[in-house]
Amino acid sequence: MARPAHPHAMQPSRPGSTRTAPPQMPPRYPMGGRYRNYTLFDATGLVYLLVGFVALRIVWALGSGREAWQSMLNQLENPLYIAFHVLAFVSVVFVAVRFFSLFPKAQPPRIGPAKPPPAPVITAMLYGVWFGITAVMTFVLIGGNL
């Protein structure tokens, strides 16, 4: 059942010629139906904010000397940090998959004289580039030279 929203949430800047119904919150908001994906997508922003704070903390430790850096590395072995990084990874994958599914729909019908490739081809190219960059970065991070 829908619940009332704030009475002035959708009030026009000046009164119209006809009365409008009071605003109502959608009945399944925020985690029902298609609202779940919107809510989860928005929640990833909080995860990214926290990742930024962790990155700042790591950089601060790196600049504070060998003891502070070693202490930070020991702290990152804590299961809570590992769980947080798994959550951050899931958030990134969720946003990437959502972006890849929406990107073909946002393409214009024509790009100059050419038509864009079909949606499955665009999606496959995006995933291919993503997996390629991931493979290169993994190779570099394990100590390989390009």
Give residue limits of the domains in the chain. 31-102, 110-146
What mean pLDDT, rounded, does the chain reach? Answer: 88
Arithmetic mean of pLDDT, 58-78: 95
How much is the average pLDDT of 98-117? 84
Rounded to an integer, what distance in angstroms lies between the CA atom of residue 34 and that of residue 31? 8
- pLDDT score for 1: 53
Query: Does residue 122 come out as left (phi exceeding 0), alpha (psi in the -120 to 50 range) or beta?
Result: alpha
Residue 9: the pLDDT is 72
Q: Is the pTM of this model over 0.75?
A: no
Across residues 106-118, what is the average pLDDT? 83
Q: 136 CB contacts (<8 Å, ≥6 apart)?
A: 146
The amino acid at residue 73 is L
Secondary structure (H, E, C), 86-105: HHHHHHHHHHHHHHHHHCHH
Amino acid at the residue 26: P
